[in-house]
Structure 1
Amino acid sequence: MWNAPIALGPVRGIVEIPGSKSITNRALVLAALADGESVLTGVLRSRDTDLMMQALRDLGVMVKVLGDRATGTTVRVVPDQMYGAAVNCGLAGTVMRFLPPVATLATGASRFDGDPVARTRPQGEIIGALRELGADIEGDQLPLVVRGRGSLRGGAATIDASRSSQFVSGLLLSAPRFDLGVELRHRAQRPGAGLPSLPHIEMTIAMLRESGVEVLTPADTSVPDAWTVLPGPIRAIDRTIEPDLSNATPFLAAAAVTGGEVLIPRWPEETSQPGDVFGDILARMGAEVGLTDRGLLVRGPKRLRGIRIDLHDVGELTPSVAALAALAEGPSRLTGIAHLRGHETDRLHALATEINLLGGDVTELEDGLEIRPRPLTGGVWHAYADHRMATAGAIIGTAVPGVLVDDIDSTGKTLPGFADLWVPLIRADEVPAGTPGSH
């Protein structure tokens, strides 16, 4: 049990956030499939990214760590002939969904498995699409076996990606190496089910284009929910990984909850990361948010307002937003996030359960949460082996004495050493310089 430190006053500090997990794992896959050596700077070292690097090594790619800094790691990636391997996915959605397409390009059978909870996560949709493209795969969920033949035909495929945008990204990342590329169309089995987390698909497309790949999107063709990736080489390029903006959200939330000030250095002016939206959410809840020459600066309000918001495109922010809503003065309604039931845990049920166990008043909706603030009390906050649930408990603990998070180490999935950053922030007295402007 980790005793979440309560803030005795407004928190003030500067928090250096390492590289984005989403960008890191996409960059690693593209580098592994490229036509030459790539050097990646600012790579996040976490359980998910370490699993990705080890899986690529097991498949035959050279991935060498050159050096570590507080802001990230430098990694050299040299592609090579790939062979079948045993791939440990852990609980990483990017590994279990991005690497089966890669394994179709290897020679030999690759067996994919992971943590027990990973065996329950949605996977069948991307496997079905890969079969349409000519892949030989045994199983529809972990554990599964991909029998690679060194190449894949590719072509047209239909997929229901309403439960995870990673299904689309996983196919697009490897598509240039397929003989015919990919013509992918999303078609939901459930009427009205849209694509979640569109910014992550846009991130994938932007990184493919940076690597010299030709991609046609709905904006290019006027065909909704359809993408075409033309076959061809993936150019080897050196990349610098942005800070992980979603990992920054708990620290910014601490400023909002306590009326304090937190600065996140190196916040990009333009980015495809969904975490960038969190500043706008905080502003709607009453905080001052400004992008300064030093980074993103958040000043918390005297009173935190509730919010009604559709989080469909930025669902990963939900645990932080729900924690803020539980501490706000007015009711909140978070919608558009039914797909969170298929993440590391059923996040909607988990958030409702844990907030209510502390005395809150949360109702699960079909696609979200209705949160009516009530005075909360201390108690055990269960993380469900989910890094975002653990940080949500830490946020609530800044304002509620006696909150005990049962598995703070689950934050190692995307941000190892979270507690070592969190505790000094809650106790820090450094005032960041800068004047908030508009974000």
Structure 2
Amino acid sequence: MAPNPTHTALWPAPYASGAVDATVHVPGSKSVTNRALVLAALASEPGWLRRPLRSRDTLLMAGGLRAMGVEIEEGVGPDGTGEAWRVVPAGLRGPATVDVGNAGTVMRFLPPVATLADGPVRFDGDPRSYERPLNGVIDALRRLGARIDDDDRGALPMTVHGGGALDGGTVEVDASSSSQFVSALLLSAPRFNQGVEVRHTGATLPSMPHIRMTVDMLRAVGAQVDTPESGGEPNVWRVTPGALLGRDLTIEPDLSNAQPFLAAALITGGRVVIPDWPARTTQPGDRLREIFTEMGGSCELTEYGLVLTGSGAVHGIDVDLGEVGELTPGVAAVAALADSPSTLRGVAHLRLHETDRLAALTKEINELGGDVTETADGLHIRPRRLHGGVFHTYEDHRMATAGAIIGLAVDGVQIENVATTAKTLPDFPELWTGMLGA
């Protein structure tokens, strides 16, 4: 079989000859868009999603819902301005086939939806999707009354035999490998006959901001949710059965996808503005304000957006990224260019992401002359003078943007398969060169 040219092509990462000064409009949040699509599909009335992200992961989510009978009309908003999707709920049905690609949200959020369909729904995806943990969702749904054929793999491919309804009730789940196991059950729970009580039994729970995002969005469409933060038991979430409202929702910009652009200001001693940065958000990317300030930048949140200004110096950091693991590749890239060592902790679960991100970051930075070692739960990074070379991405969007960050300060870095950024950040190469004034 001939190699796929989009996978073997090398993209010369632009080198920054001076301080960056740019305003970058970051597309909508993948995490918010995909949760909003599920909730709108399960609502009792039509709803609107304004400024949704159009990327591989969100189009896969929309495609999966359409396969089960949901109408999603792409066009302009009800006031005739801006891109918007109108979601019209329908009776969920099978037989259907859902292509999850390599999207964690699609492979985990849609099987609970499929239990409500009238008929079988088959789930399949990219080869890497077969290796990503799904047992938390599969086992939990079985205990709640679902029938699932997965040949006892606890992974894709599989078929969910929807019965038109699901009893629901209390279920234990070990979500130490992915907080999405909890979010997946909560999102569909209002439609389960008894709702759901999810009890997390694992020793750790990564990416708590994503669970808080799920809870906030459920409440915004009328669901009743009891959480540890609202006075409930630790590691227990309860959702009461009930109808969900159709909403007119504007999607926030994806703050994690703002990371490479903010990093550019930090590394070059420049200034980058990200418009529409929310004053309050559950997105993990909001933590960048704190992290990049500690690493040498200064942040100001204005009415227009977030302004990050670099000082010309980049400092190492000792930080627990357990709640914001998706920021690790970008933080590691900046740390490799710092003036002192860094330790990134709390992210053992990244070994189960799009790729084993800890091994991938170690290998790729070291092949450019770096000194990165894996620890039990993260990375230790000792800055060294780096040189050009090929930076492999392993079909992981955040590896590609991490390589681009390093390329700003290291001439001759070439990114293999930069097209993988389309998973969550369409047109990244154009946005990146535009930021540099090219």
TM-score (norm 1): 0.95
Q: 2:294 maps to which residue? A: 284
Q: 1:145 aligns with which of 133, 154, 159?
A: 159
8 Å contact 1:91–1:118 — kept in the other structure? Answer: yes
Measure how far apart 1:293 and its partner are. 2.1
8 Å contact 1:117–1:344 — kept in the other structure? Answer: yes
Q: 1:134 maps to which residue? A: 145
Cα RMSD (Å): 1.1
Deviation per CA, 1:305-338: give whole Å up to 9, x if none: 0000000000000011000000000000000000
8 Å contact 1:62–1:78 — kept in the other structure? Answer: yes
What amino acid is the match of 1:30?
L
Task: Quote the Cα distance in structure 2 between the aligned partners of 1:277 and 1:421.
Answer: 22
Q: 1:121 maps to which residue? A: 132
User: Matched residue of 2:198: which SS?
Assistant: strand
8 Å contact 1:45–1:72 — kept in the other structure? Answer: no
Matched residues, number: 422
Measure how far apart 1:279 and its partner are. 1.1
Please show how residues 291-370 of structure 1 align to structure 2 within 5 Å: 291-370=301-380
Q: 1:97 maps to which residue? A: 108
Q: 2:406 maps to which residue? A: 396
Task: Quote the Cα distance in structure 2 between the aligned partners of 1:66 and 1:377.
Answer: 46
Q: 2:70 aligns with which of 53, 61, 79?
A: 61
Measure how far apart 1:181 and its partner are. 0.3
Q: 1:253 aligns with which of 263, 267, 278?
A: 263
User: Matched residue of 1:324: which SS?
Assistant: helix
User: Matched residue of 2:379: which SS?
Assistant: strand
How many percent of aligned residue pairs carry the same amino acid? 59
What amino acid is the match of 1:350?
A
CA distance change for structure 1 residues 392 and 66 in 2, over 3 Å: closer, same or farther? same
Deviation per CA, 1:161-220: give whole Å up to 9, x if none: 0010111001000000000000110001xxxx3110000000000000011100000123
Task: Quote the Cα distance in structure 2 between the aligned partners of 1:384 and 1:164.
Answer: 20
Q: 1:437 maps to which residue? A: none
Q: 1:78 maps to which residue? A: 88
Q: 2:275 maps to which residue? A: 265
Q: 2:60 aligns with which of 51, 67, 91?
A: 51
8 Å contact 1:19–1:72 — kept in the other structure? Answer: no
What amino acid is the match of 2:181?
F
Q: 1:195 maps to which residue? A: 205
User: Matched residue of 2:36: which SS?
Assistant: helix
Task: Quote the Cα distance in structure 2 between the aligned partners of 1:74 and 1:293.
Answer: 24
Task: Quote the Cα distance in structure 1 between the aligned partners of 2:343 and 2:36.
Answer: 35
Deviation per CA, 1:112-170: give whole Å up to 9, x if none: 01000011001011110010100000112110100000000000100000010111001
The reply on whether 1:212 has 2:222 as its aligned counterpart is: yes
Q: Unaligned 5+ residue runs, structure 2? A: 1-9
Task: Quote the Cα distance in structure 2 between the aligned partners of 1:212 and 1:302.
Answer: 48
Task: Quote the Cα distance in structure 1 between the aligned partners of 2:381 and 2:37.
Answer: 39
Q: 2:174 aligns with which of 149, 160, 168?
A: 160
The reply on whether 1:175 has 2:189 as its aligned counterpart is: yes
8 Å contact 1:121–1:343 — kept in the other structure? Answer: yes
Q: 1:244 aligns with which of 254, 278, 291?
A: 254
CA distance change for structure 1 residues 132 and 72 in 2, over 3 Å: closer, same or farther? farther
Please show how residues 389-428 of structure 1 align to structure 2 within 5 Å: 389-427=399-437
Task: Quote the Cα distance in structure 2 between the aligned partners of 1:291 and 1:153.
Answer: 46
Task: Quote the Cα distance in structure 1 between the aligned partners of 2:209 and 2:320.
Answer: 14
Q: 2:5 maps to which residue? A: none
8 Å contact 2:226–2:232 — kept in the other structure? Answer: no
CA distance change for structure 1 residues 138 and 149 in 2, over 3 Å: closer, same or farther? same
Measure how far apart 1:72 and its partner are. 7.0
Measure how far apart 1:421 and its partner are. 0.3
Task: Quote the Cα distance in structure 2 between the aligned partners of 1:180 and 1:369.
Answer: 43
Task: Quote the Cα distance in structure 2 between the aligned partners of 1:300 and 1:48.
Answer: 32
